[in-house]
């Protein structure tokens, strides 16, 4: 798969920030960093605004990542060069969660279920902002699709054995959202963790699954 993304920019004639975004994207296109660039005036194509639920502009879609508002040239270049990579998806979900856009992150995960396993890797990165880690927990707690939740069981089992007790504790907490025998087995092991806080979290999660 080519890492060059297709980009769609939605604008209106009255938008003061759209021309700047347009210029940057056109520069990136000239540098052959884009597979395709579409620029559409949503006053002329309102069906596009309805399709993507666009509430303000500039709005753009870089591969499968959706953005609203202004971005610097450096930010746009980052997203253009990373949009089709796991790192780009991870950073996108982290950015949304850090900024309190839980509904946006939830929408994207439900649209792209494979992104959940990528997002869970935030759990093991202690450099991630606390808001993003808290948002990830809220995101997973809000999901009720057990097939989707069970897709992250292997990663949570891995993190339940992490060297950092904080990661183990977070993994045990999220295992309590998975109503599977695999989650229960892992939690039964974690109740013997050397860290007392991890043990307590594992016991609480296990009790919630009984």
pLDDT tens, position by position, 121-159: 999 998 899 999 999 999 999 999 999 999 999 999 999
**Spatial distance between the Cα atoms of 107 and 121, rounded to a whole number of angstroms:** 19
Q: Which helix (H) or strand (E) holds 185?
A: helix 181-190
In the sheet that 59-62 helps form, which strands lie side by side, from edge to edge? 36-41, 6-11, 59-62, 65-68
- Centre a 10 Å sphere on the Cβ of residue 53 and count the other Cβ atoms it contains: 9
Share of the chain above pLDDT 90, in %: 97
Angle at 26 (CA atoms; ends 23, 30), nearest 5 degrees: 140
The CATH class given to the 86-209 domain equals: mainly alpha
30 pLDDT more than 50: yes
pTM of the model: 0.87
DSSP code of residue 32: T
Give the model's pLDDT for residue 126.
87
Provide the residue ranges of all domains of the chain, joining segments of one domain with +: 6-82, 86-209
DSSP code of residue 124: G
According to CATH, what is the number of the domain 6-82? 3.40.30.10
Q: What is the pLDDT of residues 81-123, one digit of tens each?
A: 999 999 999 999 999 999 999 999 999 999 999 999 999 999 9
DSSP-derived secondary structure for 51-75: HHT--SSSEEEETTEEEES---HHH
Give the model's pLDDT for residue 38.
97
**Length of the chain (residues):** 210
Give the model's pLDDT for residue 1.
44
User: CA nearest 50: which of 102, 10, 83, 105?
Assistant: 10
- Mean per-residue pLDDT, 6-29: 97
- Mean per-residue pLDDT, 27-54: 96
């Amino acid at each position: 798969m080519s890492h060059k993304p297709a980009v769609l920019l939605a604008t209106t004639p009255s938008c003061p920030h759209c021309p700047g975004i347009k210029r940057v994207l056109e520069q990136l296109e000239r540098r052959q960093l884009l597979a395709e660039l579409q620029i559409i005036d949503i006053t002329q194509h309102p069906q596009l605004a309805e399709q993507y639920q666009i509430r303000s502009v500039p709005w753009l879609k870089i591969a499968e990542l959706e953005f609203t508002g202004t971005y610097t040239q450096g930010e746009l270049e980052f997203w253009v060069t990373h949009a089709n990579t796991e790192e780009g998806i991870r950073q996108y979900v982290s950015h949304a969660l850090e900024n309190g856009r839980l509904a946006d992150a939830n929408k994207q995960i439900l649209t792209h279920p494979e992104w959940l396993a990528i997002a869970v890797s935030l759990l093991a990165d202690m450099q991630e902002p606390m808001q993003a880690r808290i948002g990830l927990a809220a995101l997973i707690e809000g999901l009720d699709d057990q097939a989707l939740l069970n897709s992250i069981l292997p990663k949570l089992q891995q993190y339940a054995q992490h060297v950092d007790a904080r990661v183990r504790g977070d993994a045990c907490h999220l295992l309590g959202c998975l109503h599977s025998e695999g989650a229960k087995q892992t939690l039964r092991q974690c109740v013997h963790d050397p860290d007392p806080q991890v043990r307590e979290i594992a016991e609480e999660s296990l009790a919630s699954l009984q």
